Chains A and B, each alone.
Chain A
């Protein structure tokens, strides 16, 4: 990439992009960081690093393109490179489960859930949050990007550097696992599920 071709922003333009297009996403960025690391200090460091990188590489950001997706991609990469090893992730994360899922080609769409809409709607924030947090990081990530942040599959593919087909299947698997969790919470809450009857 030649310096001539590369668009250089003036100091003023940089500040405008940073304040107008990057900073408005700080809430989402922090939430993402926290749900990846489960630690407030790690999340703060991760978000701060992300914004510093974003500023440093601001010339490779095309003004008017999706700043949120661009920032999420930086944060995700920082997490993988710098934090994943030392993150205080609960050891109970079931990597075996991930392996088994990744090694199977077919996504099971026929798996029905007896979880009911009403019991989902009555769930407490803590239960929803715990269910999400209990998923292995790759599954948790696709749910965060899609359901919490509203990214499209195409945007997710770019953020995660994986094909759209993989986004789709990973998301479906993540949802099945999440439903299993929610279903067990619903049972504990005393909701009747069909299986109990």
Chain B
């Protein structure tokens, strides 16, 4: 058997309920409080190829977004301006 087949051999190629599964996976990935999330994640990723692929793609996108879109430097005068305005309204 080919390697790639072996790797996904345990996983079914069709997801039984793609809406429900993807929603659940995204909830977990997004840090929401999902009961038994660790077990759900483990079993879905092990058993279902579409779930496995969806999760890893979403995870990768989330990671690049966080790493590449949050490093906007705050203009140096902004904090000073805010403090000055606050002193004025105090």
Which chain A residues have a beta carbon within 8 Å of chain B's beta carbons?
11, 18, 23, 26-28, 30-31, 34-35, 40, 44, 47-48, 51-52, 55-56, 107, 109-110, 112-113, 115-117, 120-121, 123-125, 128-129, 132, 143-144, 146-148, 150, 152-154, 168, 171-172, 175, 178-179, 182
* B75 beta carbon closer than 8 Å to chain A: yes
Given contacts A55-B86, A121-B64, A132-B69, 16 further A-B contacts (CB under 8 A): A18-B86, A47-B78, A47-B82, A51-B86, A52-B85, A110-B18, A112-B50, A117-B56, A121-B60, A144-B69, A146-B30, A148-B69, A152-B31, A168-B27, A171-B26, A175-B61
Contact B30 A30 (CB under 8 A): no
Chain B residues near A48: list those with CB within 8 A. Answer: 78, 81-82, 85
Partner pick for A148 among B26, B33, B65, CB 8 A cutoff: B65
Does B5 count as interface, using CB distance less than 8 angstroms?
Answer: no
The DSSP consensus for interface residues of chain B is helix
**Smallest beta-carbon distance A119→chain B, Å:** 9
Residue B10 CB within 8 A of the other chain: no
CB distance from B60 to the nearest CB of A (A): 5
Choice from A11, A55, A154, A172 contacting B26 with Cβ under 8 Å: A172
Per the bound structure, the CA–CA distance linking A169 and B61 in Å amounts to 18
Could you tell me if B78 and A55 are in contact, using CB atoms closer than 8 angstroms?
Answer: no
Interface residues on B, range: 35 or more
With both beta carbons as reference points, the residue of chain A lying nearest to B50 in the complex is identified as: A112
Residue of chain A at shortest CB distance from B85: A52
Specify which chain A residues have a CB less than 8 angstroms from the CB of B22 in the assembled complex.
Answer: 109, 172
Which A-chain residue is minimally distant from B65 (CB atoms)?
A147
Cβ–Cβ < 8 Å partners of B86 in chain A:
18, 51-52, 55
B13 interface residue, CB < 8 Å from A?
Answer: no
B binding-site residues for A, Cβ under 8 Å: 18-19, 22-23, 26-27, 30-33, 50, 56-58, 60-66, 68-70, 72, 74-75, 78-79, 81-82, 85-86, 89-90
CB closest chain-B residue, reference A52: B85
From A47, A52, A109, A120, B19 is in contact (CB under 8 Å) with A109
A-B pair count, CB < 8 Å, reads 109
**Contact status A153-B27, CB under 8 Å:** yes
A110 neighbours in B (Cβ, 8 Å):
18-19
A112 proximity list for chain B (CB < 8 A): 50
Instruction: Tell whether, in the assembled complex, residue B68 and residue A150 are in contact, meaning their CB atoms are under 8 Å apart.
Output: no
B89:A152 contact, CB within 8 angstroms: no
B29 to chain A, nearest CB (A): 10
In whole angstroms, how far apart are the Cα atoms of A117 and B53 in the complex?
Answer: 9
Q: Would you list the 9 A-B pairs with minimal beta carbon distance, nearest first?
A: A125-B68, A109-B19, A147-B65, A120-B60, A30-B74, A128-B68, A117-B60, A31-B72, A51-B82
